[in-house]
Structure formats: C-alpha cells, structure tokens
Structure 1
Amino acid sequence: MTNLTSTKIGTFIYYIINTFSDGVHRIASSPPKAFLYFVLTLLAPVLQIISVPPNLLLALLPLYAFIDVLLTVMLVFPFSDLHRLSTLYNFSTINFCNSAGACPWLVSRSISDGVITYIFHCRGISLDLWRERQKDLEAAFDCHVLSIDYSDGSDTLIEFRAFPAKGSLPTKIPAPNFSPDDFVVKLGISYAGEYSINFNSLPHMLIAGATGGGKTILSRWIIYQIVNKGAFTYLVDQKGYVDYRDLREDCRCLDTNEEILDGLQSVVDEIARRMELCRSAWISKISDYNVLPGVEPQPPIFVVIDEANCLLAPTGKSKVEKDFIAQVVQHLLTITRLGRAAHVHLICICQRSDVGSIPGALKANMEIRITSHCADKESSMTILGTGDAANLPKIPGRFLSSDGTEFQAYNFSCPPGKNL
C-alpha cells in the first residue's frame, strides 16, 4: 500500500511537471503569449519598486526575490492545458488507474457541435475496463459518454467522446454501431444519455415532423439498423425512393397500389401462418417458437411507410382511391392489432398526424410516437397527447417522444461514418 501511494504521488508530480512544460512550450511558440507572460512577470517587481521605500526594499530583497521567482513559475500554469490536471483529478476520484497507480494522461481535448473528444495516453488499462466503468467515468466527468474506443488504431491511445450532463444537447452526432441486442434500436442522445427503443416490447412506431426536421435521416437510420439485424423489411414510398436509394436493395419496395395491397396482404397472411405455428406448439408468441429445438426461425418483419399521410388521407380522392385506402387501412389495423405476437412491426412516417390523414384507431395502436417541432400545441396534442412539442427547439434532428424524452437523433450516413 505504501509503494502504491508513493507511486501515485510520483505520478501526480510527473503530471505537474509535464503541465508546466506544456505551458513553457505554449509561451515559447506564441509571440502574443510570450509578450503577455513577460508583462505579467514584470508587474510584481514594478509594484514593489514603486510602493516600497528603497531602504525597506533592500532589506526585504531576498523575500521579494523569492516571491517574484515563485510568481514567475506559477504564471506558466495558466498558459498550459489545465484540463490535464482536472482530468487527473476526475480519474483519481474513482481510483481509475493502472496497477502502478498511474492515471490516463490527456493528450488532446477538442469540442465540436457540443461533443467533447478526449484523447488519453494510457498503459495498463484495457479498453474493456474503460467500457465496464463507463458509469463511473460519466459520474467523474459529469457527462454522458457517446463512445470509448482506440484512437487511430493505437492500443495505448483511447478516444473518449462525451457531452456535458448539464447544458444543451449536441446538434450533430455521428451514428454509432448499432446495438447487438435483439431489436433494440438506437435513436439518438437525450439528457439522460443514449436513447433507444425495443421493438420487442413496443412493436409499432409513428414518426412525425415537418420538412427539414430530420425525420428522413432518423427513419433511414432505423431502417439501416433493422435490416442489419436480419429483419425482412417492406418499404412503401410513393415519392420514388429518392431518400432511400441506397437502402432499396435491402428492402422489398412496394411502388404501385397493386403492389402495396399485395404486399400488405402477404404480411397479414404471414401473421396468420405464424399464429398457427404458435398454436400448434402451444405457445403464445413467435419469439418463443424461435427458440424451440428443430424449428426454422421466423425473422421479424417490418412494414415502413414513408409519407403515410399522403397514402392514407382520403380527402380529394376518387371512389376507387378511397376504396384502395380503406383496404390499406384495414390491413394496417390487422398488423398493429396482431403483429406483436407474430414479431411483425409497423413504422409510419408522416409530415402531420391529424385525424384526416391517419385514422385514430390506427394511431392508437402505435405506442411509440416521435415528432420534431410542432407549429402549435394542437398539432403536438394530436401526435403525442401533450402540447410539449410546440416548445421543442427548431433544430434539425431534435425530437420529442411520447414518453417525454427529448433527444437529438444520430446524424446517419450509410454506412455510418461515410458519406453517400
């Protein structure tokens, strides 16, 4: 214990020396900083000469000389990166160090779009330990961690990305790797940390928002996750799949009215088939059926409808079109009513969600509701049941869910980290 304590003291002294060296380097490499440092160091001697009588000054010269030298040394620290000492303190509060008692050393710190990125040099602390102690690190740094990973392929440099627990949410967050958990879908970052939903418990979803609110980016990110989790996905988009061109090959796209009806009918038939499989096996849901020995697993099915209000609103439509809409609504009601047990899910994306665009019975079956800023409280009430979305900031990607969570959606490109 004595050796470990002495090692920690030695490490702390080492960090102070390195912080001092960093300050000297910053002063020497910047003429404006060097000039300011020179002026500050002269203040004490000048004040002493002006304010102290010559005979007293001569008598106290050793003391004043000591004070001047001490101030000259101490003035170097404000020019250095003091975040290094603060991070050392943060680590020490949770005893986050290697076997020798050394805490990670801050190499660099940067802020972009509200996200703070730390690069730490660290030997003797594995990446797994960093991740295992994420909650402790969040408490020590008073932040929410976005990611912890190796930096630039190095096994001694750790990239630690986070945003402050207090204050505003970041506005541009790159999409992370999707969750390995079965159909837990990550949406973005809230004030409580990462915000996600589990389609196993809440099977159907409504996403609403005006143009420019970020709903297309959010829906693309959701589709990317579910298809990579092995879901069979139907995609309905009467705009010609302009926003989903890179995801079309992963989905069964339904373009015409005939294809939409045939596709939805096939989903309804599949629900009936899966329920018969469950009845035959004396179980209640397909997820239990999938774990039975010797059976063929039934993959989840998602029906994603973009611009659902355009597809379902009967206003101004002909009788033939209204008959088509009635059949579509009937299929969707069956999916939302029986889909949970069959692992079949519906996601509707729309610009508005009033009674005239999406039937109330259908909307009532979609337990996950998310919207961007609403123009008034009435619109917010229609979607969420509260008027809170009218107070939501007009920030692209900022959403409010029906459980009251405000979050910033991940900024998705396909695949994450690359531009289309």
Structure 2
Amino acid sequence: MTRNEKYDRRRRRERRDFLRGFPLTLFDGPGLAVKLPFAALYPLGAVWVWNQQEQAVALAQGSDLISPVLRLILENIFPAYLIIGGAALLILLCYPIGRKAAEEELHRVGLVNHAGEAPALLRKRRDETYPNITIWEFDNRGIPLNEWEDKRTSVETALDLNIAKMKYSKGKRRVLLYAAPARAGLPDMLPWKDKYLSQESFVLVLGESLLGPVTVNLANIPHILLGGSTGSGKSVLLKLLLMQAIHKGAAVCIADFKGGVDFPAAWRETCRMCFEEQDLLNVLTGLVEELKRRKRDFSEAGCPDIDRYNRATGKSLERLIFACDEVAEVLDRTGADSEQKKLLGQIENRLATIARLGRAFGIHLIIATQRPDANIIPGQIKNNMDFRVCGRADSVLSQIILDNTSAADQIPKDARGRFITGDGTVFQGYLFDEEQL
C-alpha cells in the first residue's frame, strides 16, 4: 500500500467515525462542561462581528494588498462568521473530547485489529441509572468483545479507569465500557447497615460494585458457591448472607468443621449447628425427607414452587438453608478409611439431591470453600451451584471456581472482602458485625 493510499484510507476512516458518532455526541455528558463555554461565546462573537461590519468593509475596500477571497469574507463578515463559526462549533460539539488520545492509548496496549487499527471512541455519556458511571462507546473496528475482556486490565490502565461492565451495542460493531475514574474505585471496607437489607422477598445483598448493590434472589438462583484463598473474606460474606436469611424468616443449619470457632454463641442460639459427620448426615437426611414431603404437597396443591404454594394454601412454609463453611474439611477423602468414605458418599448423595431439586421447594445450599475442585465437590453438586463468587485467588483457583481467571486478574493480591461474580461483576462485600445478629 502506497503512502497516498494509507493517507486516503485514514481520511475515509476519520470521516466514517465522525458520521457514525453524529449526532450522538451533541450532548456528550462528560465533555459538555468543557464545550459549553465555546457554545456561549458563539452568540457573543456574533454580536461583536455585527458591530464590526462597517470597519471590515472599509478595510476590504481600502487596501489593494488583500486577496480576493479575504476581501469577499470581509465584505460579508457577518454571514461568513455565522457559517464558518457555526460549522466549527458543530464539529466541536460532535467530537468527543479525548478521542485521539483514547485511540492512541488502546493502540499502545495492543488492542488492535489485523490492520493495526485501534477502536475509535464515538462518544462518552453519563449513565442515567448510575451517575458516577460514564459510558464510553467505541467503534470496535472488528475487535471481538472477548479480546476486550482479555485485555481488560490493560485497557483500565491505559484509559485510567475502573471498568464495571463491557458489552456490545448496535449489534456487534460497537462496544460499551461502563466505567468510573480510577481514583473513584471501590472502598477497602464497607460496614453493614440494617438499611441495606432488601425488602424484596428473598433477595440477599452481598456488597457494592461500581454499578450499585450486588444481590442474589434465592427464589431464582437457589444455591451459592463462595470460593477464595485463605483470608479473602469468604467466611464473613457467608455470615452476611446467613444473617439476612435469618432476618427474612429462613431456618438455617450450619456445618462448621473448623471447630466452631467462627460461629460464636449468638449463632448457636439462632441456627442448627453441625460439628460431626454423623450429625451432618442426619441433618441432610432430614432436609431430603422434607424435600420429598414438600414435593408431594406441592403436587397435590398444583403449585410449582414454595411462594405459590404459600399463597394458594395460606400456609407459611419457611425456606430452609444449609450452609457449610470450608466444605473441604467435610468432603475430603484423603486418608479416610472405607467406613468413613461410605459416610462421606452418603453426605454427597444428600447434597446432590438438594442441589438438583431444592429450588422449587425452598431448600438452598450456601457453600464456602477454598478449593472446590472435583476431588472436593463432585460435578453433580458444583454444576447446580449457579451463583458463584470468588475472592482473592490465583489463576488456577479462579478457573476452578468461576471457569475463568478473572479473580486472579481483577482482584488485588492484598484485597480482603473484594469479590467477583461469575458474570464479571467486581464488588466490595459488606463487613458484618456479629453483634448485630
């Protein structure tokens, strides 16, 4: 390709980018404050030029050294100002501030297509729902969304942003980045307040992301898997969820095989606690029997789930939640004899039944573990844990929990209480004071 061909190609691309962005950037929120003074100066300039018309005409007619083009402009200075100044103002309003800089920064971090072109910024605007979020809209130049995701941390560094979400727009030709300035990131600690408790039926609140509160509705997503390395804060998050479930009237059973030190007296007075394998098997057997009873009762009442059953019959069946802190202490077969392996097999079988059938009958699992690989949590259980949350982790652990490495890529190594969900939402978990129980 010759030099002239490259130049022509670049000019065509710039015109195409401008036309694609027009008139979207006329009301470009983040840049509007910078552009408004120029818009205000335009009518003031028009008044000044109107008053200078006679002098301009006299200058044009009194000098032989002025070119014909300049003479024509001076003789018609007011309409020339309206046309040329108006065109310049329109270009200013339509051109997003920082477009060239953004393109250069993305090119610098290697986010380019096969032709070496970086995405073009079309506009920036405030998110109507989340005022602290700015939506950056790019023409992706044929770069698929998964490549944006792979270079997420590089894009954040290049543009000095914290990206809350990425998604396609206008089919797949544009990519939207929902982002906040890097200095406006998540706090290191968020104390829990009772006002955060959701008023919706069985919606539990986990923490706050850049896009607001992160929640899970057990009526729709019945089971939760919490993972992360030691000290990541998963036990605190587990207690936060259980506290809310208790406030909403659920019956909670907790299996803790770390000696019970993480659950002081207040929990033992409120919840059913299990510290031994045989006791755990008895509890899970009781839950499975209750599941079968509810299955029979719901079928006779013609109701598909617990909420409709309660409304139709006037009863108030409570939701049942089984929680296990560090399930590896329960299910790890390393060093177990044949009798103990048989016992663990029965426990797994009960957990698998609840994982498969629990949603409709209001029986839920919330399991926390450091490493939920196949040796600890069988696939028949893990595959039914639809809502997964991971704290600080390496790439291997993140892959096991979330089926991707996003926890290793997006959560700082020294973070505590910082988590990421399976859909890529990073949030700071609320810090729950157990005295509030």
Q: Same fold (TM over 0.5)?
A: yes
* 1:291 alignment partner in structure 2: 311
In 1, Cα distance between equivalents of 2:278 and 2:307: 31
Q: Is 1:411 aligned to 2:431, yes or no?
A: yes
8 A Cα contact 2:253 2:321, kept in partner: yes
Please identify, of 336-345 and 251-260, the stretch whose mean Cα deviation from structure 2 is larger.
Answer: 251-260
In 1, Cα distance between equivalents of 2:379 and 2:312: 38
CA 1:279–1:188 in structure 2 vs 1: closer, same or farther (change >3 Å)? Answer: same
CA 1:372–1:137 in structure 2 vs 1: closer, same or farther (change >3 Å)? Answer: closer
Match of 1:259 among 268, 275, 279: 279
Per-residue deviation, residues 193-228 of structure 1 (Å, max 9, x unmatched): 111111111000110111110111111111111011
3-state SS of 1:242 partner: coil
Q: Is 1:212 aligned to 2:227, yes or no?
A: no
Residue 339 of structure 1: how far off its partner (Å): 0.2
8 A Cα contact 1:174 1:410, kept in partner: yes
* 2:405 alignment partner in structure 1: 387
3-state SS of 2:190 partner: coil
Per-residue deviation, residues 374-413 of structure 1 (Å, max 9, x unmatched): 12x2221111011111112120001111111111101110
Q: Is 1:196 aligned to 2:223, yes or no?
A: no
Q: Is 1:345 aligned to 2:364, yes or no?
A: yes
* 2:188 alignment partner in structure 1: 171
* 1:269 alignment partner in structure 2: 289
**Unmatched tracts of structure 1, length 5 or more:** 1-134, 144-163
Residue 191 of structure 1: how far off its partner (Å): 1.5
AA in 2 matched with 1:263: V
* 1:378 alignment partner in structure 2: 396
Residue 415 of structure 1: how far off its partner (Å): 4.3
CA 1:190–1:142 in structure 2 vs 1: closer, same or farther (change >3 Å)? Answer: closer
Residue 330 of structure 1: how far off its partner (Å): 0.2
In 2, Cα distance between equivalents of 1:325 and 1:298: 30
AA in 2 matched with 1:214: G
Residue 142 of structure 1: how far off its partner (Å): 6.1
In 1, Cα distance between equivalents of 2:244 and 2:418: 20
AA in 2 matched with 1:170: P
In 2, Cα distance between equivalents of 1:197 and 1:181: 11
CA 1:277–1:372 in structure 2 vs 1: closer, same or farther (change >3 Å)? Answer: same
CA 1:388–1:138 in structure 2 vs 1: closer, same or farther (change >3 Å)? Answer: closer
CA 1:333–1:166 in structure 2 vs 1: closer, same or farther (change >3 Å)? Answer: same
AA in 2 matched with 1:259: D
Match of 1:328 among 347, 354, 358: 347
In 2, Cα distance between equivalents of 1:384 and 1:322: 28
In 2, Cα distance between equivalents of 1:243 and 1:358: 22
AA in 1 matched with 2:418: R
In 2, Cα distance between equivalents of 1:326 and 1:138: 48
* 1:306 alignment partner in structure 2: 325
CA 1:182–1:166 in structure 2 vs 1: closer, same or farther (change >3 Å)? Answer: farther
8 A Cα contact 2:255 2:324, kept in partner: yes
Please identify, of 196-205 and 171-180, the stretch whose mean Cα deviation from structure 2 is larger.
Answer: 171-180
In 2, Cα distance between equivalents of 1:296 and 1:138: 40
In 1, Cα distance between equivalents of 2:435 and 2:210: 26
* 1:17 alignment partner in structure 2: none
* 2:387 alignment partner in structure 1: 368
3-state SS of 1:197 partner: strand
Per-residue deviation, residues 327-359 of structure 1 (Å, max 9, x unmatched): 000000000111011010001111111111111
3-state SS of 2:349 partner: helix
In 1, Cα distance between equivalents of 2:306 and 2:406: 37
In 1, Cα distance between equivalents of 2:316 and 2:133: 44
In 1, Cα distance between equivalents of 2:130 and 2:346: 51
3-state SS of 2:365 partner: strand
Match of 1:396 among 409, 416, 434: 416
CA 1:314–1:179 in structure 2 vs 1: closer, same or farther (change >3 Å)? Answer: same
Per-residue deviation, residues 43-94 of structure 1 (Å, max 9, x unmatched): xxxxxxxxxxxxxxxxxxxxxxxxxxxxxxxxxxxxxxxxxxxxxxxxxxxx
8 A Cα contact 1:310 1:357, kept in partner: no
8 A Cα contact 1:307 1:350, kept in partner: yes
3-state SS of 1:341 partner: coil
Aligned positions of 1:77-226 closer than 5 A: 139=131, 165-167=180-182, 168-177=185-194, 178-226=197-245
In 2, Cα distance between equivalents of 1:351 and 1:189: 23
3-state SS of 2:198 partner: coil
In 2, Cα distance between equivalents of 1:291 and 1:302: 21
**Unmatched tracts of structure 2, length 5 or more:** 1-126, 135-178
Per-residue deviation, residues 246-300 of structure 1 (Å, max 9, x unmatched): 322111111222211110000000001111111111122121110014x421100
> How many residues in Structure 1 have an aligned counterpart in Structure 2?
260
What is the root-mean-square deviation in Å for CA atoms of aligned residues? 1.9
Question: Where in structure 1 do 4 or more consecutive aligned residues deviate above 4 Å?
Answer: 135-138
3-state SS of 1:243 partner: coil
3-state SS of 1:365 partner: coil
CA 1:137–1:342 in structure 2 vs 1: closer, same or farther (change >3 Å)? Answer: closer
3-state SS of 2:191 partner: coil
AA in 2 matched with 1:169: L
Aligned positions of 1:221-240 closer than 5 A: 221-240=240-259
AA in 1 matched with 2:317: Q
3-state SS of 1:370 partner: strand
In 2, Cα distance between equivalents of 1:173 and 1:210: 20
Residue 176 of structure 1: how far off its partner (Å): 2.4
